[in-house]
Structure 1
Amino acid sequence: MKLDNIEWLFFDVGSTLVSEEKPFLHRLYEIADAVNEPFDAIQNKVTQLYKEKKKGEQVLIQEYGIERPRWRSEDEELFPESYECLERLSKKYKIGVIANQLPGTAARLEKHGVLKFIDIVIASAEEGLEKPDRRIFELALSRASCKPENAVMIGDRVDNDIIPAKKIGMKTVRVKQGMWKYWDALGEEEQADFEVDDLNAVIELFGWKFENN
């Protein structure tokens, strides 16, 4: 599939632009401590649950009946390729964010030094809508004055990013980072137009459009 007539690239945040590994592991350590089990055992259970297309840590929290540990967003870090990816692609495309995030998404992106490359931030906490609700995608496209066929959704989750974006006519790129990389896409509905392992591959996927100008 060619990526002709694309005007906007919309990115997810967690496990797409931002690595959540540190806060995720912190949460697993707190779960292990709360239920008095070895960390490795908890990590293995969570990984297996993700392979079953379940949010593993949340399943364990419910099963054990423990309080949900606070998500430490201050421990999130940009992936090494994120800055270059946004910097380069923003020279050719408009850049947006569509993400399920805690309040203050734009401020965190500013702290990471990449907000200057982003034209629109649509985040669940501020909008009162969450992916995979198609309305959050429609809201982003409306604010961007962009038709679905002229936009690409780039994210790590099949359920939250790929399926709903495809349903409204956007092109899709799955970045297989974070725990949702274990999701085995089945059928056309779950299959992204493109699958890549990191943001360097996203640069390559779109980069030729301006490198050859």
Structure 2
Amino acid sequence: MTSTGTGPHRLSRMIRAVVFDVGECLVNETTEYGTWADWLGVPRHTFSAMFGAVIARGLDYRETFQVFAPGFDLTEQREKRAEVGQAERFGEEDLYPDVRPALGKLRDDGLWVGIAGNQTVRAGGVLRSLDLPCDMIATSDDWGVSKPDPGFFRCVVENAPCEAEEILYVGDRLDNDIAPAVTMGLRTALIRRGPWGIIQQDAPEADSLPTMRIDSLSELPGRIARFNAEATLL
């Protein structure tokens, strides 16, 4: 179940903008990582098991590739895949079912909606082609800085039409999404899904750090409405 609470934040300003991470927040990455297992010539369940083990140890997920192919360069291999017509891809079928309804409802409620994650230029193009109900789509490649670098969240603030504490950043990772966003003064929502969301759910900071915890994006409009109603009373 979800938890309430406001983490380390005071209820002082209303949330006026919501910005979403991409992988495992909007996009189910099962297909993407499955194709990487195929590319490496590794059974998909074996790759998935090692992926989870790497995350559980607190290591960079890219260490998974090193287990099966020492010296593996992810950027280089992405280009090799593209050259042979096997570029990483995702489509409408890879979106979680709650994505379009939630983003649409947030915009209908008058909130500014953005999408910003650690993605390639190619992935950014795919996201834009999906015509999601949002006001901004940006990637780490667009900005030249990746999470968890504070500079990424500085770009989020610079592109949103409000102050940092009026922005809610929604992500599945404590380390890459929630902690650095909080450091930059943003509100945060931790969603419990995907490998990181499940593995990190019992970490002590999972309850204390985010502004709110959710199990589905469909919870956001109501949670934000309640948050803003309380904020107006202070």
Q: TM-score range by the shorter chain?
A: 0.7 to 0.9
Q: Would you say the 8 A contact 2:90–2:126 is kept in 1? A: no
* Match of residue 101 from structure 2: 84
Q: Indicate the RMSD between aligned Cα atoms, in angstroms.
A: 2.7
Deviation at 1:186, TM superposition (A): 3.0
Tell me, in whole angstroms, the C-alpha distance in 2 between the residues paired with 1:189 and 1:198: 16
Which structure has the higher relative contact order (CA within 8 Å, separation 6+)?
A: 2
Change (3 A) 1:42 1:141: closer
* Match of residue 73 from structure 1: 88
Q: Would you say the 8 A contact 1:162–1:172 is kept in 2? A: yes
1:205 aligns with 2:226: no
Deviation at 1:105, TM superposition (A): 4.5
Give SS of 1:19's match: coil
- TM-score normalised per structure 2: 0.75
Identity of aligned residues (%): 23
What does residue range 17-96 of structure 1 map to in structure 2 within 5 Å?
17-31=26-40, 33=41, 38-56=43-61, 58-64=62-68, 65=70, 67=72, 68=74, 70=78, 72-76=87-91, 77-91=94-108, 92-96=110-114
* Match of residue 176 from structure 2: 160
1:14 aligns with 2:23: yes
Tell me, in whole angstroms, the C-alpha distance in 2 between the residues paired with 1:156 and 1:86: 17
Supply the AA of the counterpart residue of 1:8: A
Tell me, in whole angstroms, the C-alpha distance in 1 between the residues paired with 2:12 and 2:28: 27
1:121 aligns with 2:137: yes
Deviation at 1:188, TM superposition (A): 7.4
Q: Spell out structure 1 runs of 4+ moving beyond 6 A.
A: none
In structure 1, stretches of 5+ residues that fail to align are none
- TM-score normalised per structure 1: 0.82
What does residue range 97-116 of structure 1 map to in structure 2 within 5 Å?
97-114=115-132
Q: Would you say the 8 A contact 2:23–2:29 is kept in 1? A: yes
Tell me, in whole angstroms, the C-alpha distance in 1 between the residues paired with 2:37 and 2:24: 17
Change (3 A) 1:123 1:29: same
